[in-house]
C-alpha cells in the first residue's frame, strides 16, 4: 500500500464511524406508574452471545458483504454449505471467543515485545502490514427485536473485538470501530425491520491499531467479549457519573451527579431527572431537575447533594452504595439506571500515597485477561476465581496490564475490595522509539483510547490510578495525555513508566529495579547502575528526579515459572520507607494454551514461526489457575500483620491494615516438638488499624535437651467472607524456641570399632563392607570411581546407580538467563554468532562429578572408626575434592564432602536412584510446598509425608522443581516401611538460633539461608527433566530419583528470565563448601 492510499484500517486518524461515545455500562430498568417500586422492573437488554455463522477471508479487503445476506447461505447447526461468495466455507463459531482457538485461520502467535512477520516496523513505512498475513472473520446471525421494545432506541454493543469491527444490519453498514479492548456501540434503530433481522460483523486480524496494541501476549482475533442489544426510551440518560468531595474529617461528602440526557424523539419532551443513593434500603437523595428537551437535543444535567457520615470504601472494607440516575416521564413512569458506588479519597502528599487519609502500600500483581481454554474470553466464573485467589493471598491491588479488562472484573473489584490501576490500551513496544513520541497526528487516537477508558470506568471506586499505557516510549504525547487525563478526572493520580518526567506521571514508576537500586532510592541517593549483559538497561538518575513522588514498581518480581526469589527483600525496604508505594508482581497467570489431549502449549508449538516461546509463562498460577509455589511466598510477604517475638518470650503483633480492625481474627498458637504438636491454644485478639500489641503465650512446659521446639502463631478469621472460610489463616509466623537434632527413636551408632563386627573384602574393582548388627547389610564401593555402588539392608540393592556427587540442576528459566530470548532474537540483539553459540553451549557443571579424576581411594581407621576416603582432582575445584564415608556397626553411612569450587554451583549434594517401590516420603523441615533458600518464608517447619510423585511441581516448561529446604531428616520407604532415613549433620542453624529467635528477620538472612539440608524427589531423572521442553514429554522412569543437598542455590527473579542471584543465595566460588549427612536403615513396620 502506498502512503497516499490510506484505507480506514490503515489510518491512525480513523477510530470509528457512527460509533457512539463512551458511557457508563449500565442497563435501563423501567418502572410503570402506580406499581410498587420494589418489583415489576423490566430489563431492556438482549444477549446475542452464542453460536454464529462464521467464515474466514484472506487479505485485508472486505469481500462483497451484500452476498452474505442471501438467506440460502444460512446453514443448519449440523451442516456445512459452500457460500456463493466462493471465499471460504461457512461454519459455526462461538461468540464471544477468539477464532484461533476454535479451529479457524492461521495458528496463534506468542510474542513478548515484537511484531509478527509481515508487520513493517520501518518508521518510514508505518503503518504497513502485508495483506498476505491478514485475515477477516465474517460473523453472521439472525435476531428478532422483542415486541416490548417498540418505539425505543436500539443500541448494538460489542464489548470488544480485535483488531477492527465493521457492522452491517440487513445489508447496510451500521458502523465501524477500532480499539480492541473497549466497547463499540452503534445505534441501529433505523436499520431494523419487522420480524427477523440479520447482522453481519467483519473483524480484521491486523490493522494500524496493531501497532498501538503490541502487548506481551498472544495474537488472537475475533469478537471475544459479550455482544448484546440494549433498548432505551426515546428520552434517556446516556451517561452519568458521580463526583464526590470528602470533608477533611470524612464526616460528609459533597456530591455532584452529572448526567447526559438525550432526546431521540421527534417531539419536544418535558422530563425530570432524579438521582439518589441507597444504603441498606435507605434512600439518600441527590436532587432532581425538570428539563425540556427539543427533538434530537442532548443536554448535561447536574444534580448536587450532600451525604452525611458516608461509609468509606477501601480494599480492606469495601463499603458500597447503589447509585441511581432516573428519568421521570410525563405520564409518571420512569426509567432508571444503577451502578455500585463507593466514597473514597486518593491523594499524594509529600511523595506519599494516601487512601482516605491513610498511607497505603500497593501489594499488587499484573494481570492479563486470559484463559488457557478460551484465550481473551474470560467467563464470569473465571473472573471471580481470580479475585478470590488474589484476596486469599493478601494481594490488595491489580494492574490491568496492559489494557482495560472486561467490565465485570471492575464490579468484582468494587465488591471484594481490590485497588485497580486501570491501564490505557496503548503499547508500541516493538516500535516505541518512533511512535507515538512527539507526533501530533497520534493525538486523536490516543485521546479516544484514554477517554473511553475513563468514561467507562470512572464510577468504580476500585479504580484508584489511571495509567497512560505501557512501554510506548517517551515524548510530548505523554505530557499531553497526562493533561487530558487530569482534565477528564482530576480526582485520581496518573501513572506512566515509559517517560519518567513529572509532567507525565504522578509516580516515579519503574520496572524490574533490583533490590540494590530500591535501597539506594529509599535512602535518597543518586542512582548509577550498569545494565546486565547489554539486555537490561542501566539506571542513572539524580535523587531530585524521584524526590516528592511516590516510588512505584509497576512491574517487579518477574515470576517466570520457578522464580520469585528474594521477594521478601523488596518489602523489607518498602515497609521502611513511606515514599515506597509498593509494586505489581509480573504476573498473575501463565498464558499457556490448553491443547488437545490436555497438553499445555506455548509459543512455537503451533508452527507459527517467529515466537518468544515459553516467555508467556510468568504467573503466580498456571493458566488453569492451579497455584504455583511462589504464590505461597506472596501471601506471606503481603500479609497485613507483622509478628515478632521479644527476648522475654512475648509475641508482638503490628496491624499493618489502615482501616480494618483485627477483631475479626482469632490468635491461634501451637508448639511442636520435633514436628509433633504438643500444645495449642487460642487467645482473644483485637488490634486497631496501625496499632501494635503484645500477647503472652501460655507455654510453660520444660523443654528437653537436644529436642527442637517451634512455636507457630497464626491469625485466622472468626467467620467466613466472600473469599475465605471461617478459620482460614491470613497471617502466621514461626519461632524456634529451642534448637535440637530430632532423633525420633533412632539409637546413636556404636563408635567402638572393636565391637562393630564389620567385615571388609577388597577386590580389584570393589570394596565390600558387611555386617550383621540390626540385620545383615552390605555396602560396596567402586574402587575405580570412588562412589558407593551398593547399599543393601537385606532387601536388595537400594541404589539403582551409584550414589555420587551433583553440582548441577535442570535449569530454571532464570538459570537459562538470556537464552530465554531465543537464538534468533539474541543474534539480532548481540550481533555475534560465536557469542550466541557459547551461550547455548552445555553448562560446565553438567556431569561435573564424572569429570573428576580419582587420585586417592583408601580405607582407614580414625579414632576407632572405619572410614573410606575418596579424593578427586576436579578442574572445577581448587585443590582436592574430598569425600569421607564413616561406616557404623549397624550399616549406617555417614557421608561428608568438602571442596572449594572455581565457579558458582547450582547445588552441592549427592544424587541417588532407588527402586520405584520406595515411593513413600516423610520429612521434618520446611513444607509442605516446594521452597528454596531465597523463597522459603511462606513455607513452615513441620513433619510432612506423601508419595514421591506428589512432591514435584509441574511448571509449563520442565525445570528444577520440588526442592524442600531446611530439612532435619528425611525418610524414603516402601509400603512396608522399609527403606532409609537421612539425617542432616551440619548444624549451621544453631548459629541463627543463638543470634535471634525470629529467623525470618532480614538481619539474619545471610546466616539463615542454609538452615539444614535440602532434598527433592522425582519419578524421572534430572537429565530427562533438563532435556524435556514440555511437561507431557516426561515419563516415569520406574525409579525414585533422590537429590540430597547441603545447599541449593536460589531461584532469583529481579529481572525477566535472568536469575541475578543475591550473594546470600549463591553457592559461591572460592569458598569452602561442605556437606555432611548420615544414612540409616529403616526396618519394616
Q: Tell me, yes or no, if 471 is annotated catalytic.
A: yes
Cα three-residue angle 917-920-923, rounded to 5 degrees:
145
SS3 of residue 677 by DSSP = strand
Terminal Cα-to-Cα distance of the chain (whole angstroms) = 80
Q: How far apart are CA 191 and CA 619, in angstroms?
A: 46
C-alpha cell read off for 806: 551433583
Q: Coil, strand or helix: which one is 816?
A: helix
Contact criterion met (CB below 8 Å) for 575 and 361: yes
Give the residue among 781, 767, 710, 762 at the shortest CA–CA distance from 740.
Answer: 710
861 is catalytic: no
> Among 1057, 593, 1027, 619, which Cα is nearest to 826's?
1057
CA-to-CA distance for 850 and 668, rounded, in angstroms?
51
Q: Return the sign of the alpha-carbon dihedral for residues 583, 585, 586, 591.
A: negative
Strands (DSSP E) found in 367-425: 397-399, 419-423
Distance in angstroms (rounded) separating the CA atoms of residues 810 and 1041: 13
Rounded Cα–Cα distance for residues 56 and 627 (Å):
37
Spatial separation of the C-alpha atoms in residues 585 and 1056, rounded to whole Å: 11
Return the SS3 of 983: strand
Q: Please check whether residue 1044 is in contact with residue 804, taking contact to mean a CB–CB distance below 8 angstroms.
A: no
Within 13 Å, how many C-alpha atoms sit on residue 547's CB side? 7
Residue 146 grid coordinates: 422483542
- Omega before residue 587 within 30° of 0, cis: yes
Sorted by sequence, the CB contacts under 8 Å of residue 409 that are 6+ apart come out as: 369, 378, 383, 386, 387, 400
- Distance of alpha carbon 342 from alpha carbon 416, whole angstroms: 12
Q: Compute CA 611 distance to the chain's CA centroid, rounded to the nearest angstrom.
A: 21
Residue 458, Cα to own-chain centre: how many angstroms? Answer: 25
Task: Specify which residues 90 forms β-bridges with.
Answer: none
CA distances to 98, 369, 589 from 374, rounded to whole Å, are 7, 10, 14
Residues in the chain: 1085
The three grid cell numbers given for residue 862, joined into one nine-digit string: 580414625
How far apart (Å, rounded) are the C-alpha atoms in residues 673 and 773? 30
Catalytic residue among 451, 555, 806, 896: 555
Distance CA 1020, CA 886 (A): 30
- The strand pair at 777-782 and 788-792 is best described as antiparallel
Please tell me the distance from the alpha carbon of residue 946 to that of residue 59, in angstroms, as a whole number.
56
Q: Give the integer Cα–Cα distance in Å for 664 and 657.
A: 12
Measured over the CA atoms of residue 147, residue 149, residue 150 and residue 156, the dihedral's sign is negative
Q: Parallel, antiparallel, or unpaired: how do β-strands 334-341 and 29-31 relate?
A: antiparallel
H, E, C per residue of 775-810: CCEEEEEECCCCCEEEEECCCCECCCEEEEEECCCC
Q: List the beta bridge partners of residue 109.
A: 219
Enumerate the β-bridge partners of residue 672: 677, 710
Query: DSSP secondary structure string, 328-342?
Result: E-TTS-EEEEEEEE-
Q: Which entry of 260, 274, 423, 471 is annotated as an active-site residue?
A: 471
Catalytic amino acids?
471, 555
Amino acid at each position: 500500500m502506498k502512503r497516499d492510499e490510506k484505507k480506514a484500517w490503515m489510518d491512525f486518524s480513523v477510530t470509528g464511524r457512527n460509533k457512539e461515545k463512551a458511557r457508563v455500562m449500565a442497563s435501563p430498568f423501567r418502572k410503570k406508574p402506580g406499581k410498587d417500586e420494589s418489583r415489576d422492573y423490566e430489563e431492556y437488554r438482549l444477549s446475542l452471545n452464542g453460536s454464529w455463522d462464521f467464515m474466514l477471508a484472506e487479505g485485508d479487503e472486505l469481500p462483497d458483504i451484500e452476498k452474505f445476506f442471501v438467506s440460502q447461505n444460512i446453514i443448519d447447526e449440523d451442516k456445512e454449505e459452500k457460500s456463493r461468495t466462493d471465499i471460504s466455507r461457512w461454519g459455526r463459531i462461538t461468540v464471544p471467543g477468539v477464532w484461533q482457538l476454535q479451529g479457524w485461520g492461521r495458528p496463534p502467535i506468542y510474542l513478548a515485545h515484537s511484531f509478527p512477520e509481515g508487520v513493517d516496523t520501518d518508521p518510514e513505512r508505518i503503518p504497513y502490514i502485508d495483506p498476505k498475513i491478514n485475515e477477516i472473520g465474517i460473523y453472521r446471525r439472525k435476531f428478532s427485536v422483542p415486541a416490548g421494545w417498540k418505539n425505543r432506541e436500539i443500541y448494538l454493543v460489542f464489548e470488544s473485538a480485535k483488531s477492527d469491527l465493521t457492522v452491517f444490519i440487513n445489508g447496510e453498514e451500521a458502523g465501524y470501530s477500532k480499539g480492541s479492548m473497549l466497547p463499540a456501540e452503534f445505534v441501529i434503530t433505523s436499520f431494523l425491520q419487522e420480524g427477523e433481522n440479520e447482522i453481519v460483523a467483519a473483524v480484521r486480524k491486523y490493522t494500524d491499531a496493531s501497532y498501538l496494541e503490541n502487548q506481551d501476549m498472544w495474537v488472537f482475533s475475533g469478537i471475544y467479549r459479550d455482544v448484546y442489544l440494549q433498548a432505551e426510551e426515546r428520552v434517556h440518560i446516556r451517561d452519568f457519573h458521580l463526583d464526590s468531595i470528602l470533608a477533611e474529617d470524612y464526616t460528609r461528602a459533597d456530591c455532584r451527579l452529572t448526567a447526559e440526557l438525550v432526546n431521540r424523539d421527534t417531539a419536544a419532551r418535558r422530563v425530570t431527572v432524579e438521582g439518589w443513593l441507597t444504603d441498606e434500603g435507605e434512600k439518600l437523595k441527590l436532587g432532581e431537575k425538570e428539563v425540556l428537551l427539543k427533538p434530537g437535543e442532548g443536554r448535561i444535567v447536574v444534580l448536587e447533594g450532600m451525604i452525611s457520615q458516608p461509609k468509606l470504601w477501601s480494599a480492606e472494607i469495601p463499603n458500597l452504595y447503589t447509585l441511581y440516575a432516573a428519568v421521570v416521564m410525563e405520564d409518571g413512569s420512569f426509567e432508571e439506571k444503577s451502578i455500585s458506588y463507593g466514597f473514597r479519597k486518593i491523594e499524594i502528599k509529600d511523595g506519599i500515597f494516601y487512601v482516605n487519609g491513610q498511607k497505603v502500600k500497593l501489594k499488587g500483581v499484573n494481570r492479563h485477561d486470559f484463559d488457557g481454554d478460551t484465550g481473551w474470553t474470560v467467563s464470569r466464573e473465571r473472573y471471580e476465581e481470580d479475585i478470590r485467589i488474589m484476596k486469599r493471598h493478601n494481594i490488595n491491588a491489580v494492574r490491568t496490564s496492559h489494557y482495560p479488562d472486561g467490565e465485570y472484573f471492575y464490579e468484582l473489584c468494587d465488591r471484594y475490595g481490590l485497588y485497580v490501576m486501570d491501564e490505557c490500551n496503548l503499547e508500541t513496544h516493538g516500535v516505541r522509539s518512533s511512535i507515538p513520541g512527539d507526533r501530533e497526528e497520534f493525538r486523536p487516537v490516543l485521546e479516544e483510547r484514554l477517554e473511553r477508558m475513563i468514561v467507562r470506568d470512572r464510577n468504580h471506586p476500585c479504580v484508584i490510578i489511571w495509567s497512560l499505557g505501557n512501554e510506548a516510549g517517551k515524548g510530548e504525547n505523554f505530557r499531553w495525555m497526562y493533561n487530558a487525563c487530569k482534565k477528564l478526572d482530576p480526582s485520581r493520580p496518573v501513572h506512566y513508566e515509559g517517560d519518567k518526567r513529572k509532567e507525565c506521571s504522578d509516580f516515579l514508576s519503574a520496572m524490574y529495579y533490583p533490590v540494590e537500586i530500591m535501597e539506594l532510592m529509599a535512602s535518597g541517593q543518586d542512582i548509577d547502575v550498569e545494565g546486565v549483559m547489554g539486555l537490561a538497561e542501566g539506571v542513572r538518575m539524580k535523587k531530585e528526579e524521584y524526590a516528592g513522588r511516590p516510588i512505584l514498581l509497576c512491574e517487579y518480581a518477574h515470576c517466570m515459572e520457578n522464580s520469585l526469589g528474594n521477594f521478601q527483600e523488596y518489602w523489607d525496604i518498602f515497609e521502611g520507607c513511606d515514599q515506597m508505594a509498593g509494586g505489581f508482581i509480573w504476573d498473575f497467570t501463565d498464558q499457556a494454551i490448553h491443547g488437545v489431549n490436555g497438553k499445555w502449549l506455548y509459543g512455537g508449538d503451533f508452527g507459527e514461526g517467529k515466537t518468544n516461546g515459553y516467555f508467556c509463562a510468568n504467573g503466580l498460577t498456571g493458566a488453569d489457575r492451579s497455584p504455583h509455589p511462589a504464590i505461597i511466598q506472596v501471601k506471606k510477604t503481603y500479609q497485613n500483620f507483622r509478628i515478632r517475638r521479644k527476648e522475654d518470650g512475648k509475641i508482638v503483633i503490628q496491624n499493618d491494615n489502615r482501616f480494618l480492625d483485627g477483631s475479626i481474627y482469632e490468635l491461634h498458637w501451637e508448639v511442636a516438638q520435633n514436628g509433633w504438636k504438643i500444645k495449642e491454644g487460642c487467645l482473644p485478639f483485637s488490634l486497631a488499624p496501625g496499632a501494635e500489641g503484645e500477647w503472652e503465650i501460655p507455654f510453660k512446659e520444660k523443654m528437653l535437651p537436644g529436642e527442637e521446639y517451634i512455636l507457630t502463631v497464626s491469625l485466622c478469621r472468626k467467620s467466613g467472607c466472600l473469599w475465605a472460610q471461617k478459620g482460614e489463616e491470613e497471617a502466621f509466623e514461626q519461632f524456634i524456641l529451642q534448637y535440637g537434632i530430632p532423633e525420633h527413636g533412632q539409637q546413636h551408632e556404636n563408635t567402638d570399632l572393636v565391637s562393630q563386627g564389620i567385615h571388609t573384602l577388597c577386590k580389584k574393582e570393589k570394596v565390600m563392607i558387611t555386617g550383621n548388627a540390626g540385620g545383615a547389610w552390605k555396602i560396596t564401593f567402586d574402587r575405580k570411581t570412588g562412589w558407593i555402588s551398593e547399599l543393601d539392608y537385606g532387601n536388595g540393592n537400594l541404589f539403582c546407580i551409584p550414589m555420587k556427587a551433583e553440582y548441577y540442576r535442570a535449569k530454571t528459566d532464570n538459570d537459562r538467563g538470556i537464552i530465554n530470548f531465543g537464538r534468533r532474537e539474541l543474534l539480532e540483539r548481540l550481533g555475534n554468532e560465536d557469542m550466541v553459540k557459547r551461550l547455548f553451549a552445555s553448562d560446565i557443571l553438567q556431569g561435573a562429578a564424572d569429570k573428576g579424576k580419582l587420585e586417592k581411594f583408601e580405607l582407614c581407621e580414625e579414632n576407632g572408626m572405619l572410614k573410606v576416603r575418596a579424593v578427586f582432582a576436579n578442574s572445577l575445584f581448587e585443590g582436592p575434592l574430598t569425600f569421607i564415608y564413616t561406616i557404623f556397626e549397624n550399616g549406617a553411612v555417614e557421608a561428608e564432602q568438602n571442596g572449594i569450587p572455581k565457579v558458582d554451583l547450582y547445588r552441592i549434594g549427592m544424587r541417588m536412584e532407588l527402586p520405584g517401590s520406595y515411593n513413600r516420603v516423610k520429612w521434618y523441615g520446611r513444607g509442605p510446598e516446594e521452597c528454596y533458600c531465597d523463597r522459603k518464608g511462606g513455607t513452615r517447619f513441620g513433619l510432612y509425608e506423601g508419595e514421591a510423585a506428589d512432591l514435584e511441581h509441574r511448571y509449563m516448561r520442565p525445570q528444577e522443581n520440588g526442592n524442600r529446604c531446611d530439612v532435619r531428616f528425611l525418610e524414603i520407604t516402601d509400603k512396608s516401611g522399609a527403606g532409609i532415613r537421612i539425617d542432616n549433620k551440619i548444624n549451621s542453624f544453631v548459629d541463627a538460633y543463638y543470634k535471634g529467635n525470629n529467623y525470618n528477620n532480614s538481619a539474619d538472612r545471610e546466616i539463615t539461608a542454609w538452615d539444614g539440608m535440602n532434598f527433592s524427589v522425582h519419578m524421572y531423572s534430572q537429565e530427562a527433566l533438563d532435556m524435556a521442553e514440555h511437561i507431557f514429554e516426561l515419563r516415569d522412569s520406574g525409579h525414585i530419583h533422590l537429590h540430597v543437598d547441603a545447599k541449593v542455590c536460589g531461584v532469583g527473579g529481579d529481572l525477566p528470565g535472568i536469575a541475578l542471584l543475591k550473594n546470600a543465595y549463591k553457592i559461591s566460588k572460592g569458598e569452602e563448601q561442605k556437606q555432611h549427612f548420615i544414612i540409616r536403615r529403616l526396618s519394616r513396620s
